[in-house]
A and B are shown apart, each in its own frame.
Chain A
Amino acid sequence: MVGKEVERLLLKVQKPGRYVGGELNEVIKNKKDVEVRFAFCFPDTYEVGMSHLGMKILYSQFNSVPYIWCERVFAPWIDMEEEMRRHDIPLYALESGDPLSDFDFIGFTLQYELSYSNMLNMLKMGGVALTTEARGNELKNIVVAGGPCACNPEPVADFVDMFFIGEGEEVDLEVMELFRQCRAEGVDKREFLRRCAQIEGVYVPSLYDVEYNEDGTIKSFTPGDGAPAVIHKRLMLDMDKSFYPDNFVVPLVEIVHDRAVQEIFRGCIRGCRFCQAGFIYRPVREKSPETINEQCRALCENTGYDEVSLSSLSSSDYSQIVPLLEKLTEWTGEEKVSISLPSLRVDGFTDEIMNKIKTVRKSGLTFAPEAGSQRMRDVINKNVREDELMATCATAFAGGWTTVKLYFMIGLPTETMDDVADIANLGQAVVDTYYNTPNHAKGKSVRVTVSASSFVPKPFTPFQWEPQDTIPVLHEKQRHIKDSVRSKKITFNYHDADTSFLEAVFARGDRRLCKTMALACERGFHFDGWNDCFSLEKWLELFEETGIDPAFYANRRRSFDEILPWDHIDYGVSKQFLIKECKKAYENQTTPHCRLKCSGCGAAKYGRGVCFEKRQDMV
């Protein structure tokens, strides 16, 4: 619900439907009837944020508690931001129209390093002071954050009162309950934060002291006030009993993923060495086909969506994918609902799956071989062979598909120019496969899109010690692929290396970056993830002014015994395991996935999930 002052601006900006709320299934409560008001902030546009599954889950879960009212806040696009500033309108939540500064909790989900500037900008626009310190000691406007980027919270540690490490479903509610008690007792914010730090999965950065060595690396990291030395992540052990919404807010304007989304499992069995998600969400925990089927049906009925997407890190690795698709197609045809299966692996696209998807809708095919040469794919532990990719493409071509998208990365550890050229060669091999497939679509030509992004080393991966290629080297590799593509059937795209560089700085940065972030906010930085706004040059000026060498974070090889900025956080995967994996990468050695063999990463300590499934090689 928005006020008259806002309504006046709406006809001057693009897509005003993003700023008004009022969608089907939006939750409206009476603010007098609730004790805790939570502003769930997504530091990007409405279209992006409304597509995010985590927000849907937590929004529903918070609002299922009578004493909590959770509302949504998104970053207004630049035209709206300008109008709001000009008319002195603070950033508001869509449900009540109240400014951010009215809320007890202001929660951010950190999905992407380049959205940090939006987080700070949203606080500023909402009339909330930027840092824990500046917000004072009153028990209000508690700024919290979670999501994958919270695994290295240090670059934004000054701005966030507490981070939720791991999965949020339980820890969020425990903190809300503690807040309610603390308010009743009349305790101040500092005491509240001290008590929160005792909850497993809560990290209160202001309770820790960092000292640095002369070479800039971390000397020590010391907890104070009884805060734990190591913060352990939280996770849901029984996915069938874990909260899942039977209802989504259905947007009035078209969003990025405008469909029902059904989570089928968490984690990934593969352990690709570049992939953070493959490690921080361990162990793999599946929902049963029965649960998925019921939840899908409820969601489609309550939202009116005619498409449901089965979401996970690698859909074809769901152990009961075929029985699940059979169950779903029993009713989806009749109800005119189509199923989409994103994140298919090259080796997971079988005739059976293809035919099930085809009964309802034919979408484009996207595969991610990630690297061009077999040696490189072994280094990153992708465990996909060229003949598998060709067999899969042949299956798809015989089934009538004519477009394939292939995703790759450049700048991977140990990569040579020959490995890079093999990206183009692999694209060519797919083109050749099309013409060698006897029953490909008649009279149609094939289109292969080859996309290359630049590798960003991430915390909690075996490559967390690796230097990122410098921008000139990445440019040279991009050119090399371009020159190696000979067929007109291949379209080559690449991701801007400048943004990958900044992403690398923040991904593995430490607390000293907070002052750069604060200056960025003061200078009005926002939407760094969007080409419309991003400028590396301006960021380099900020680094210069704040005395930060960004290459120290992005391009430096770290030693295995260095204290890393995120070493005090435990995601269940041991550092020894990551070191072992890193060394195996240098020797082009692969590691079998979790269902074939346990490699002892450490995640078995949670006592559930794939670690305790019967393995294929066991009788």
Chain B
Amino acid sequence: MKNVRIWFKKDHECRYISHLDLNRAMLRALHKSKIPIWHTEGFNPHPFATFPLPLSLGFRGVNECMDVKLEDDDYSFKEIIDRLNACLPRGLRVFDVTEAVMKAGKIAFASFTIKLSGINKPSSLVCRQLKELLDRDTIEVEKRSKKGMKTVDIKPAVKSYSVTEKFDCAELDIMLAAGSSDNVNPNLIITALENENGVEYEADITRNDLYNSELEKFR
């Protein structure tokens, strides 16, 4: 038995499915592919797969991963890629299979690219508004939690960022705290910006990479 990490992109139509739906689609593809994956035991045996860090609905993911247990240690990684892709919808594409080097719990940061545009607002203005917000010492925003709405300061979660002015949008590259303890959803930054300026923005969010606390890429 070998732990392997399957790397894939979640984009196009599949951007719009929830983590639960992604999980179902992956399990179905694993079942269909007949790759020798370890199944859970019990009344409803199903392929066992875990996701180190779920992706929010609406985000594109270019370096997403899923862990499975391979029953045949010598099974070819290339075979896994080919077989799974034949069983997945076009919005989910597997591009690599590796051994699982780091444990999922090691994830501490995630990098995002956010293309932000305001309705009838020049991108230079949106860039300025973004910088103004992110340069503050505290960025307070209301967040829905299990105990109702609460105000949180997301500034400590912002590890680094840069803003670039593009023709039709402001492009924000940002590294945010991620993982099981201090996860910050980049949508909160947009919410903060909207509250600040009283207008709506359109955001196209891509999650790029995951990192550990030493800022090494998650492998």
Give me the interface of A with B, judged by CB distance under 8 Å: 2, 8, 10-11, 15-17, 19-24, 250, 252-254, 258, 301-306, 336, 338, 361-362
Complex contact A304–B87 (CB within 8 A): yes
B58 within 8 A of partner (CB): yes
CA distance A351 to B125 in the complex (A): 73
B24 within 8 A of partner (CB): yes
CA distance A29 to B88 in the complex (A): 19
Contact of A24 among B12, B20, B87 (CB under 8 A): B87
B46 within 8 A of partner (CB): yes
Whole-angstrom distance between the Cβ of A331 and the nearest chain B Cβ: 13
Complex contact A305–B28 (CB within 8 A): yes
Contact of A250 among B28, B44, B46 (CB under 8 A): B28
Contact of B58 among A11, A23, A305 (CB under 8 A): A11
Whole-angstrom distance between the Cβ of B208 and the nearest chain A Cβ: 19
CA distance A161 to B45 in the complex (A): 50
Number of A-B residue pairs, CB cutoff 8 Å, is 73
B72 within 8 A of partner (CB): no
Smallest Cβ-Cβ distance to B39: which chain A residue: A336
Q: List 12 A-B contacts (CB under 8 A).
A: A2-B13, A10-B16, A16-B58, A17-B13, A22-B12, A22-B90, A250-B25, A252-B89, A253-B17, A305-B31, A306-B31, A336-B39
Q: Which residues of B contact A19 (CB under 8 A)?
A: 16
Given that A252-B14, A304-B32 are known contacts, is A22 also in contact with B43, CB under 8 Å in the complex?
no
CA distance A306 to B44 in the complex (A): 10
Contact of A20 among B13, B87, B88 (CB under 8 A): B13
B156 within 8 A of partner (CB): no
Q: Which residues of B contact A2 (CB under 8 A)?
A: 13
Complex contact B44–A24 (CB within 8 A): no
Contact of B31 among A252, A253, A304 (CB under 8 A): A304
**A contact patch SS:** loop
Q: Which residues of B contact A305 (CB under 8 A)?
A: 28, 31
Which 8 A/B pairs are nearest by Cβ-Cβ distance? A22-B13, A304-B32, A304-B28, A16-B16, A20-B13, A17-B17, A24-B89, A252-B17
Complex contact A252–B25 (CB within 8 A): yes
CA distance A311 to B25 in the complex (A): 24
Complex contact A254–B91 (CB within 8 A): no
Complex contact A304–B29 (CB within 8 A): yes
Whole-angstrom distance between the Cβ of B66 and the nearest chain A Cβ: 15
Q: Which residues of B contact A338 (CB under 8 A)?
A: 44
Q: Which residues of A contact B43 (CB under 8 A)?
A: 361-362
Within 8 A of A (CB), among B1-54: 12-14, 16-18, 20-21, 24-25, 28-29, 31-33, 39, 43-46
B202 within 8 A of partner (CB): yes
Q: Which residues of A contact B215 (CB under 8 A)?
A: none
CA distance A302 to B90 in the complex (A): 15
Given that A252-B25, A362-B43 are known contacts, is A20 also in contact with B32, CB under 8 Å in the complex?
no
Q: Which residues of A contact B102 (CB under 8 A)?
A: none
B152 within 8 A of partner (CB): no
Whole-angstrom distance between the Cβ of B168 and the nearest chain A Cβ: 12
CA distance A19 to B15 in the complex (A): 12
CA distance A152 to B137 in the complex (A): 70
CA distance A303 to B28 in the complex (A): 8
Whole-angstrom distance between the Cβ of A356 and the nearest chain B Cβ: 15
Given that A10-B58, A303-B28, A303-B32 are known contacts, is A252 also in contact with B13, CB under 8 Å in the complex?
yes
Whole-angstrom distance between the Cβ of A83 and the nearest chain B Cβ: 13
CA distance A361 to B43 in the complex (A): 7
Q: Which residues of B contact A22 (CB under 8 A)?
A: 12-14, 89-91
Tell which of A21, A252, A336 has the most Cβ of chain B within 10 Å: A252
Given contacts A24-B25, A306-B46, 9 further A-B contacts (CB under 8 A): A11-B57, A16-B58, A17-B17, A20-B13, A24-B89, A250-B25, A252-B25, A253-B18, A305-B28
Q: Which residues of B contact A17 (CB under 8 A)?
A: 13, 16-18, 21
CA distance A305 to B33 in the complex (A): 11
Complex contact B46–A254 (CB within 8 A): no
Whole-angstrom distance between the Cβ of B134 and the nearest chain A Cβ: 22
Q: Which residues of A contact B46 (CB under 8 A)?
A: 306, 336
Smallest Cβ-Cβ distance to B20: which chain A residue: A254
Q: Which residues of B contact A20 (CB under 8 A)?
A: 13, 16
CA distance A333 to B25 in the complex (A): 22
Contact of B88 among A11, A15, A24, A258 (CB under 8 A): A24
CA distance A358 to B205 in the complex (A): 46
Smallest Cβ-Cβ distance to A17: which chain B residue: B17
Smallest Cβ-Cβ distance to A28: which chain B residue: B90
Whole-angstrom distance between the Cβ of B86 and the nearest chain A Cβ: 10
Tell which of B13, B25, B44, B91 has the most Cβ of chain A within 10 Å: B13
CA distance A253 to B19 in the complex (A): 10
Complex contact A361–B44 (CB within 8 A): yes
Complex contact B31–A336 (CB within 8 A): yes
Q: Which residues of A contact B13 (CB under 8 A)?
A: 2, 17, 20-23, 252
Whole-angstrom distance between the Cβ of B107 and the nearest chain A Cβ: 25
CA distance A348 to B45 in the complex (A): 28
CA distance A335 to B44 in the complex (A): 12
CA distance A301 to B32 in the complex (A): 6
Complex contact A8–B21 (CB within 8 A): no
Contact of B89 among A15, A23, A336, A361 (CB under 8 A): A23
CA distance A302 to B32 in the complex (A): 7
Tell which of A23, A24, A254, A258 has the most Cβ of chain B within 10 Å: A24
Q: Which residues of B contact A361 (CB under 8 A)?
A: 43-44
Q: Which residues of A contact B12 (CB under 8 A)?
A: 22
Within 8 A of A (CB), among B52-97: 57-58, 87-91
CA distance A409 to B138 in the complex (A): 63
Tell which of A305, A306, A338, A361 has the most Cβ of chain B within 10 Å: A306
Q: Which residues of A contact B44 (CB under 8 A)?
A: 338, 361
Q: Which residues of A contact B89 (CB under 8 A)?
A: 22-24, 250, 252
Smallest Cβ-Cβ distance to B24: which chain A residue: A254
CA distance A336 to B44 in the complex (A): 8
Q: Which residues of A contact B58 (CB under 8 A)?
A: 10-11, 16
Contact of B45 among A11, A254, A304, A336 (CB under 8 A): A336
